[in-house]
Amino acid sequence: MTEKDQAQSDQTPAESTAEVRAADVSLDTAGGMLEPSIVPVSSQSGDSGHQQGSVMRRIVMGNGFVSVLAVIVALFLGGLLIASTDSQVAKTAGYLFARPTDFLSALWAAMTESYGALFQGSVFSPREGFKPILETMTVATPLICAGLGVALAFRAGLFNIGAQGQIIISATLAAYVGFAWHLPFGLHLLVVLIMGVLGGAVWGAIVGILKARTGAHEVIVTIMLNYVALFLLDFLLNTAAFRRPGDNSPISPRLDESATYPVLIPGSRLHLGFLVAVALTYGVWWLLNRSTIGFEFRAVGANPIAARTAGVRVSRATILVMAMAGALAAFGGVAQVAGTEKVLTGGVAAQIGFDSITVALLGRSTPWGTFFAGLLFGAFRAGAVQMQIQTGTPIDIVLVVQSLIVLFIAAPPLIRSIFRLEPKKKTKTPKAAPKAALANATGGAK
């Protein structure tokens, strides 16, 4: 966005929403990149091509930099939270004014100890070398897949809160095929994959169909379907078909060897699913940026009314994008049962579906952004286990840090004001733009 464009959009605040929207679309498509509508337009990445100013300022004002700052601030606040419950910190706080250095060093020690353990559990530890990073990649696999699903829906202007349900359904189907059918090597994994992905796609498509046909808000429908899926899994695990013979606990038999992803590096849990996730990331990038369907998705996301006028079948795109989002999340579900866990339990989806929303937001709904955000949150998840063992810091701190990161990223003006990066001329946040973007988020079919 050039300064001139910015100024213009500020000068004409009285324009009707539709006009503003149209202006936004033209702004956004100017660089040939249609941006997702969910995250406020001003905070989107990938439009650095038409940003003016010095290189330094572009880096400082750029969205990647804001993301990094958001992560740092969130980690710092999380560290403060850890320190606030630390006994040594509390003790030194008693004589804070007498010897402030004691307090500060205790504070520093509490933070670095926990984060040190986190780092050792996720990237590198002196004892195990780089083995923890393999665990990070394993944990990140379903997060990346499901995050891609959420991101893809975001780009089409749809909130897919339903990754959790889509993962559960796909994991259930995949696991059933995995332990109940006995097929030859190779074919079995393929069938498991197809069944799982099909399940997730159908679960996602239900949302798309309801949205397109009746205007039911996808946020509500996906939230409700998450719970339906959860109880369905709970029910199934209590039936004879899904339980281990002679065992009453709600846990399925182990999947056949032929139904699981092969392990990539012996001695770790890293499985083929990670490479699938990489391929999917590339696939989604290609779909969004190089294919007609992807262009239609982005057009619908940017402005459903304009897209309809331009001849895009909005309802078809809605159904298709939700089915694809469900299918992507389903790859995460398959990775869980066929790769990481190898059994089906009630907690097979853990928090992955909800984490994936934050992953997509941190990745700004771009495929590769989501990939790296998934890796980061995978590292948090993997490291948090080690952190809890070593320092007793509850895993929940990860949730706090994750949500803070997303809050800061979602509100770029906030992080900029913390670091006084706000430009003097208030042209950086065209006020009408988020408004239009948000109007899109609720969709035209309402």
Partner 1 sequence: MSATTTAPRAGATALPAFRPSMKVPISLGVLALIALVFFGFLGPDKTAEMKISDSGDAVVVPALMIPGQVGGVVLGILLLAMAAYSIYLWTRGERSPKWLPIAFAVVFVFALLVWIVAGARQPSISLAGLVAGSVTLAVPLVFGSLSGVLCERVGVVNIAIEGQLLGGAFTAALVATITGSPYIGLIAAAAAGAAVSMVLAVFSIKYLVNQIIVGVVLNVLVSGLTGFLFGTLMVPNKEQFNTPGRLDILPIPLLSDIPIIGPILFEQSIAGYLMYVAVAVVWFGLFKTRWGLRVRAVGEHPQAADTLGINVNATRFWNVTLGGAIAGIGGAVFTLVTIDSFTKDISGGRGFIALAALIFGRWNPIGAFLASLLFGFAYNLQSILGIIGTPVPSQFMAMLPYLVTIFAVAGLVGKSRPPAASGIPYVKG
* Minimum CB–partner distance for residue 393 and partner 1 (Å): 8
The residue ranges that bind partner 1 (CB under 8 A) are: 13-14, 38-40, 81, 85, 159, 161, 210, 213-217, 219-221, 223-225, 227-228, 231-232, 234-235, 238, 354, 357-358, 361, 393-404, 406-407, 410-411, 413-414, 431-432, 434-435, 437-439, 441-442
Dist CA 122 CA 422 (whole Å): 35
* Minimum CB–partner distance for residue 174 and partner 1 (Å): 20
Contact 140, 309 (CB under 8 A): no
- Toward partner 1, which CB reaches closer, 314 or 436? 436
CA geometry: angle 9, 59, 406, nearest 5 deg: 75
- Toward partner 1, which CB reaches closer, 159 or 261? 159
- Toward partner 1, which CB reaches closer, 256 or 355? 355
- Toward partner 1, which CB reaches closer, 152 or 259? 152
Determine which helix (DSSP H) or strand (DSSP E) holds 122, and give its type and residue range: helix 100-122
- Toward partner 1, which CB reaches closer, 139 or 161? 161
- Toward partner 1, which CB reaches closer, 191 or 400? 400
* Minimum CB–partner distance for residue 278 and partner 1 (Å): 27
CB atoms within 10 A of CB 320: 20
Dist CA 446 CA 216 (whole Å): 7
Residues 6+ apart with CB under 8 A from 374: 140, 143, 144, 147, 277, 356, 359, 363
* Minimum CB–partner distance for residue 224 and partner 1 (Å): 4
* Minimum CB–partner distance for residue 408 and partner 1 (Å): 10
* Minimum CB–partner distance for residue 403 and partner 1 (Å): 4
Dist CA 385 CA 117 (whole Å): 9
* Minimum CB–partner distance for residue 418 and partner 1 (Å): 12
* Among 273, 234, 228, 231, CA closest to 252: 234
Contact 405, 355 (CB under 8 A): no
Amino acid at 402: Q
- Toward partner 1, which CB reaches closer, 340 or 402? 402
Contact 329, 141 (CB under 8 A): no
* Minimum CB–partner distance for residue 11 and partner 1 (Å): 11
CB atoms within 10 A of CB 296: 21
What are 263's strand-pairing partners? 271
Dist CA 429 CA 40 (whole Å): 9
- Toward partner 1, which CB reaches closer, 228 or 264? 228
